Amino acid sequence: MKSYHKHLKSLLFFVSICMASAKAQDAATEQKITDLIGKMTIEEKVNMLHASSSFTSGGVPRLGIPELQMSDGPHGVRVEQGRGWNVVEGVNDAGTYLPTGNALAATWNPALGYQFGSVLGSEANARGKDVILGPGINIIRTPLNGRNFEYLSEDPYLISKMAVGTIKGIQDQGVSACLKHYAANNQETNRMTIDVNMSERALREIYLPGFKAAVMEGGVNTVMGAYNKFRGQWASHNYYLLNTILKREWAFKGPVISDWAATHNTIEAIYNGLDIEMGTEFSLKPFKGYNTFYLGDTVTTLVKEGKVKESIIDDKVRRILRTMFKTGMMDKSRKAGSFATKEHQQTALKIAEEAIVLLKNEAKILPLSAKKIKTIAVIGLNAFRPNAYGGGSSQIKATYEITPLEGIKNIAGDKIKVVYAQGYNVERGAKADAKLIAAAVAAAKKADVVIYVGGWVHGYDYKVWSDNAYDAEDTDKPDMNFPFGQDEVIKAVLAAKPNAIMVLTGGGPIDMTQWIDKAKTIVQFWYPGMEGGNALANILFGKINPSGKLPMSFPKKLEDSAPHKLGNYPGFKLVQNYTEDIYVGYRYFDTYKVAPQFAFGHGLSYTTFNYADLKVMAGADKKATATLTLKNTGKVAGAEVVQLYVKEQNPKIDRPEKELKSFKKVFLQPGESQQITFDLDATAFSYYDEIQAKWVMDAGKFDILVGSSSKDIRQTATVAF
């Protein structure tokens, strides 16, 4: 006991020394910044507040202050555009293409978030970038949002855990993450004009927690303001979002960067918290130079005329310089990054393997046994199309991209014959082509195993913006139906081969109601990055046991989802009221008793898990500890995401049926069991009280629901406070 105390004492002493030295370092940096600002002219200061090219903001060469080099983001470093907007040919910009945001979130593995961030940060660094424009963490509100594939989840807790890991991973490589799009940018339809309104409670409980965690736990260096308006004021210079919440409540110390062409007004930009204006060349017609931006020469004039205090400008410059000092830009101390390495590709593979979700495996057709198969028919153009270039600003030139067809061929080797049938054409408005269907059916009939790969698409040529794309920036999907007449193809294939395996690409749910009762096996593939095809093949053939879980609910029909049922998506006269309030995703499905097609948190495994002995104990300070035992009761090793939801029994105000408050991904050998502990604090039991304007936890009883998905609760206990 004595030696324990001695150790604890020396540890505390060490921690206090570290904290004191960090404080001293901060103070020294702040002093250096003050000295630099003291030497700058107003013109030089203002030059730092706006773009100096498509992806740089201004520096002050005289004082050794470099330009800030930025790049998209968020699942790889964007194809090089130099100082303009055209793709620059002949540079080494073919790099690692990671699984996109919702694939990463489907791993439910924050450690992979960190590894994802490390790859991104390291490659951005190697490409000479200081800021990588990501992660994008807006709530997945409607299945139609064209950018859902970049975002993470419908649940703020899952977003928080994955975003914090990603940001730390990026920033530990010496570059800055740029958290986007702050805030309420949940659709692409009218994104540049729409005015979003929601209750304070919805804002605090659903739309902000991910951003808050990214700032306060992730320590993100920069934040991007969104395109839309929020409660009548542009998000990129919104006083409440930026000054009141981000900078004051959350004590954010870095710069706010506007989305590209999201700035509209000099005075608001000056006073409402914007620090760097980017991309306004798109909205100024004619464009006469970067100094004509809203935060350009006009600001210099206003300061010179004494109409704006210089200290307000100094604060903006200070925030930019802080980021520069923090990321080794001022003393050039940043360690070297690495680009397009084998290790990075292996990380992309590992994430993809944990991201793919086994939605249905009714007849246990999966995993396939290679020994029993002579011919595989792969059907569907999505098995053949690459995706890296697609989607808009997140486009990547990948070193390579293993498509599903290639992945299946890789694993089949020369013992299994793999035939391919296109099945459908990828063209807006294309209907089912009878000839292609006939060829697909013929191939299916001759094969032992049929794998259909279809669903949504990205555009795929980096020179062509969003060509035929559904999962893409600047556009929402028109509906939730399979494009290109695929329902007809699938029905024909299933009629010919009832055991056909369905593999679905895309950034979210798709209406499967026409054939789901007939399909025995369904796999959600997302956009899983450059190694996606190999990851898929490893899962289909049982080399990898699937462990992905849906980070969003899959409704049966679009009409079943909350913003379409209760909200006014896509908005009325450019006003978008989030009238479904806090009832987003499973909070809606569970509370309103609507059955989803596949529930939030759902995902099957080739093994089985037993949940037992859930116990919950209330502790001091409104804390509680839950323990339970998880056992792998099947024959193969596997991972389970154990999800803990909280339900207040008799709440004073309406609360969702249940809310995710903790989860753990646990890897177990066959027969192995493990005791799992969840530590909960008051945040797990609280709601946002609009009258008191704060989080409140009422005394009462709370059910602790632990399970394998939001619908598959295996153990329940109650705790009282």
- Active site residue ranges: 259
259 vs 488, beta carbon nearer ligand BGC:
259
Q: How far is CA 484 from CA 478, 479, 494, 509, in A?
A: 13, 13, 17, 16
71 vs 468, beta carbon nearer ligand BGC:
71
190 vs 244, beta carbon nearer ligand BGC:
190
Q: Name which of residues 574 to 593 contact ligand BGC (CB under 6 A).
A: none
In the bound complex, what is the minimum distance in angstroms from residue 611's beta carbon to ligand BGC?
40
The whole-angstrom separation of Cα 136 and Cα 148 is 9
If DSSP codes are grouped into helix, strand and coil, which group holds residue 317?
helix
In the bound complex, what is the minimum distance in angstroms from residue 393's beta carbon to ligand BGC?
4
Q: Is 73 in the site for ligand BGC (CB under 6 A)?
A: yes
Instruction: Decide: 418 and 403 in contact? Cβ < 8 Å.
Output: no
33 vs 214, beta carbon nearer ligand BGC:
214
Which token pair is 499? 């055991």
Instruction: Decide: 534 and 556 in contact? Cβ < 8 Å.
Output: no
Query: HSE of 378 in the Cβ direction (CA atoms, 13 Å)?
Result: 25
228 vs 486, beta carbon nearer ligand BGC:
228
The whole-angstrom separation of Cα 675 and Cα 684 is 21
73 vs 563, beta carbon nearer ligand BGC:
73
Residues contacting ligand BGC: total by CB under 6 A: 7
393 vs 605, beta carbon nearer ligand BGC:
393
In the bound complex, what is the minimum distance in angstroms from residue 120's beta carbon to ligand BGC?
13
Q: Is 260 in the site for ligand BGC (CB under 6 A)?
A: yes
In the bound complex, what is the minimum distance in angstroms from residue 103's beta carbon to ligand BGC?
18
The whole-angstrom separation of Cα 280 and Cα 288 is 11
Q: Is 130 in the site for ligand BGC (CB under 6 A)?
A: no
Residue 457: closest CA among 531, 517, 404: 404
Spacing of C-alpha 499 from chain mean position: 33
71 vs 607, beta carbon nearer ligand BGC:
71
The whole-angstrom separation of Cα 368 and Cα 449 is 9
Instruction: Decide: 668 and 638 in contact? Cβ < 8 Å.
Output: yes
Binder of ligand BGC out of 36, 103, 120, 133 (CB under 6 A): 133
- The residues that bridge with 95 in the sheet, in sequence order, are 398
Which residues make Cβ contacts (< 8 Å) with residue 570, sequence separation at least 6? 144, 187, 189, 190, 476, 576
Q: Is 180 in the site for ligand BGC (CB under 6 A)?
A: yes
The whole-angstrom separation of Cα 564 and Cα 585 is 12
Q: Is 182 in the site for ligand BGC (CB under 6 A)?
A: no
In the bound complex, what is the minimum distance in angstroms from residue 277's beta carbon to ligand BGC?
13
The whole-angstrom separation of Cα 121 and Cα 342 is 16
Q: Is 471 in the site for ligand BGC (CB under 6 A)?
A: no
Instruction: Decide: 236 and 223 in contact? Cβ < 8 Å.
Output: no
The whole-angstrom separation of Cα 229 and Cα 208 is 16
51 vs 490, beta carbon nearer ligand BGC:
51
Binder of ligand BGC out of 100, 142, 266, 393 (CB under 6 A): 393
In the bound complex, what is the minimum distance in angstroms from residue 560's beta carbon to ligand BGC?
29
Q: Pattern of binders to ligand BGC over 217-256, x per CB under 6 A?
A: ----------------------------------------
Query: HSE of 149 in the Cβ direction (CA atoms, 13 Å)?
Result: 35
In the bound complex, what is the minimum distance in angstroms from residue 423's beta carbon to ligand BGC?
33
In the bound complex, what is the minimum distance in angstroms from residue 126's beta carbon to ligand BGC?
20
68 vs 706, beta carbon nearer ligand BGC:
68
Report which secondary-structure segment, H or E, holds 407. Answer: helix 404-412
71 vs 298, beta carbon nearer ligand BGC:
71
Pairing of strands 575-577, 195-197: parallel
How many residues are listed for the chain in this entry?
721
What count of other Cβ atoms lies within 10 Å of the Cβ of residue 641?
24
In the bound complex, what is the minimum distance in angstroms from residue 177's beta carbon to ligand BGC?
12
Residue 347: closest CA among 187, 529, 581, 554: 529
Return the biggest CA–CA distance within the chain: 83
The whole-angstrom separation of Cα 272 and Cα 250 is 16
Q: Pattern of binders to ligand BGC over 19-58, x per CB under 6 A?
A: ----------------------------------------
188 vs 511, beta carbon nearer ligand BGC:
188
Looking up tokens 């939801």 gives 645
In the bound complex, what is the minimum distance in angstroms from residue 459's beta carbon to ligand BGC?
15
- The residues that bridge with 234 in the sheet, in sequence order, are 229
If DSSP codes are grouped into helix, strand and coil, which group holds residue 182?
strand
Binder of ligand BGC out of 130, 259, 268, 511 (CB under 6 A): 259
Binder of ligand BGC out of 44, 72, 275, 659 (CB under 6 A): 72
In the bound complex, what is the minimum distance in angstroms from residue 225's beta carbon to ligand BGC?
10
Q: Is 97 in the site for ligand BGC (CB under 6 A)?
A: no
Report whether the peptide linkage leading into residue 670 is cis, meaning its omega lies within 30 degrees of zero. Answer: no
User: For 411-508, where are the E strands, in sequence order?
Assistant: 417-421, 449-455, 501-505
In the bound complex, what is the minimum distance in angstroms from residue 130's beta carbon to ligand BGC?
14
Instruction: Decide: 312 and 271 in contact? Cβ < 8 Å.
Output: yes
In the bound complex, what is the minimum distance in angstroms from residue 276's beta carbon to ligand BGC?
12
257 vs 269, beta carbon nearer ligand BGC:
257
Spacing of C-alpha 198 from chain mean position: 22
Sheet bearing 229-230, strands edge to edge: 233-234, 229-230, 195-197, 575-577
Report which secondary-structure segment, H or E, holds 489. Answer: helix 486-496
The whole-angstrom separation of Cα 412 and Cα 500 is 17
The whole-angstrom separation of Cα 379 and Cα 502 is 10
The whole-angstrom separation of Cα 490 and Cα 521 is 13
Name the site residues for ligand BGC (rule: CB under 6 A).
Answer: 72-73, 133, 180, 259-260, 393
